[in-house]
Structures are given as structure tokens and as C-alpha cells.
């Protein structure tokens, strides 16, 4: 999995997709800073998720952004997405690989070197750690310290994704401490600034 230092944002969708979302996504992608886009919809029918996913997939393709699905390996397969993100309570990485084969599969490792080692052994494409900062988007029982990033970097070259409360004031610390990508949602979608203005502040 290639790491592009200019495209360090791993953008996560809002939990609800409204009609204006697609135009906002186009404007955000035009900033050329997003490498991955993850569709994270906890509610709604499979059919509705397919419809939303198809629209987003086209936009991702246009801007050469990898399109990933959160949690749902079968949805990722149906959409022929670029991959899937797995939490610790989701399908195992080994099972997911059987279903979506050579696609990108990333794994949540919270703040645990032990979980990271398991994911590395199972050949995860990236490792996600956090929360590094308090987040309004998703409540996390796990707090990760910046020092964790350097410890992980010593044991693997697998790309690292940092998550949790990341904004324009704290993002540089994570990049300086060896995070390859920053998973961001609330800062872009629930900001007083417009989404394209918010992303411009991450340079």
C-alpha cells in the first residue's frame, strides 16, 4: 500500500448522508489531500447503503481515492469497493480475506501493541490506533499516546492510521510521530467551517 505524504487524510463519512453531502465531498476531494474514504453507516438498509455506496464510489474513482467500507465485508464485496475496515468485534481478518481476496483490509488496534502484532501476522494492509484525542464523533474507551506510534514503527513498515479527535491544531504532532494517515470525520463534517474550508487548514 503506497503512502503519499501529501495525501495523508483518511476521511470517514458522517453517520448520516444527506443530499448536499455529495457536492461537499467533491469540493473536499478537489483539495487532493485524501487517500482513503471510509463509508461508515451504522443504520439503514443494505439496499440503501448500496445506493449511497455506488454514488460515493464514482466520486472516489474520479479523484483516485481508495473507497473502503466500515465493518461490512459483504457490502464491500457487493460494491466492489477497494477494501474494508475491521473493528475488533467484526469479522476476523482471515475470514475477510477469503471473501474480498486481495482488497485492502485495515484493522483497529486501539492502543495495543499485542493487537497490532496479531494484525501484522495476519497481513493487515494498515493498522489503526486511537483515540489520540477526545472525539465527539465516536466514544472510545481506549486512549492512545503519541509514543505508541514510534513503538509500532519500530516493529513494522505496515502503514499506520491515527484516529480520534484530530483537528487543525493537533494533526501535525501525529504526522511528526510517524503516523502515515490521519482518520478524520467530525472536524470535516461537524465544523463551523464548510468542509472544504476545514480541509484546507490541514496542509
Beta bridge partners of 39: 69
Residues with Cβ within 8 Å of residue 43, at least 6 apart in sequence: 15
Distance CA 81, CA 59 (A): 12
Of the listed ranges 27-31, 76-80, 139-143, 186-190, the least confidently predicted one is 139-143
pLDDT, mean of residues 95-122: 97
> What is the spatial distance between Cα 50 and Cα 161, in angstroms, rounded to a whole number?
26
DSSP state of 86: E
Report DSSP state, residue 157.
-
How far is Cα 9 from Cα 195, in angstroms, rounded to an integer? 13
Provide the pLDDT confidence category of residue 20 given band limits of 50, 70 and 90: very high
Rounded Cα distance between 114 and 41, Å, is: 28
SS3 state of residue 155? helix
| pTM to 2 decimal places | 0.96
Q: What's the pLDDT band for 103 if we cut at 50, 70, 90?
A: very high
Give yes or no for a contact between 152 and 134, defined as CB atoms under 8 angstroms apart: no
Separation CA 11–CA 5 (nearest Å)? 15
Q: How far apart are CA 56 and CA 82, in angstroms?
A: 12
pLDDT over 80 at 100, yes or no: yes
- Please answer whether residues 199 and 33 qualify as being in contact, where contact means their C-beta atoms are separated by less than 8 angstroms: yes
pLDDT, one tens digit per residue, over 22-64 is 999 999 999 999 999 999 998 999 999 999 999 999 999 999 9
Q: Domains plus CATH for the chain?
A: 9-200 (3.20.20.70)
Percentage of the chain modeled with pLDDT above 70: 98
User: Which pairing describes strands 83-86 and 34-39: parallel, antiparallel, or unpaired?
Assistant: unpaired
Amino acid at each position: 500500500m503506497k503512502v503519499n505524504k501529501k495525501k495523508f487524510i483518511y476521511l470517514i463519512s458522517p453517520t448520516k448522508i444527506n443530499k448536499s453531502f455529495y457536492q461537499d465531498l467533491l469540493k473536499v476531494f478537489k483539495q487532493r489531500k485524501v487517500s482513503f474514504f471510509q463509508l461508515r453507516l451504522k443504520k439503514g438498509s443494505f439496499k440503501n447503503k448500496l445506493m449511497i455506496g455506488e454514488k460515493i464510489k464514482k466520486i472516489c474513482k474520479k479523484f483516485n481515492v481508495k473507497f473502503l467500507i466500515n465493518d461490512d465485508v459483504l457490502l464491500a464485496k457487493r460494491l466492489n469497493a477497494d477494501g474494508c475496515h475491521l473493528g475488533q468485534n467484526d469479522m476476523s481478518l482471515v475470514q475477510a480475506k477469503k471473501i474480498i481476496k486481495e482488497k485492502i483490509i485495515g484493522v483497529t488496534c486501539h492502543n495495543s501493541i499485542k493487537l497490532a502484532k496479531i494484525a501484522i501476522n495476519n497481513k493487515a494492509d494498515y493498522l489503526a490506533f486511537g483515540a489520540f484525542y477526545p472525539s465527539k464523533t465516536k466514544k472510545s474507551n481506549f486512549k492512545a499516546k503519541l509514543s505508541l506510534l514510534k513503538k509500532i514503527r519500530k516493529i513494522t513498515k505496515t502503514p499506520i492510521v491515527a484516529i480520534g479527535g484530530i483537528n487543525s491544531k493537533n494533526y501535525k504532532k501525529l504526522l511528526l510521530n510517524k503516523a502515515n494517515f490521519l482518520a478524520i470525520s467530525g472536524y470535516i463534517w461537524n465544523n463551523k467551517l464548510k468542509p472544504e474550508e476545514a480541509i484546507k487548514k490541514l496542509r
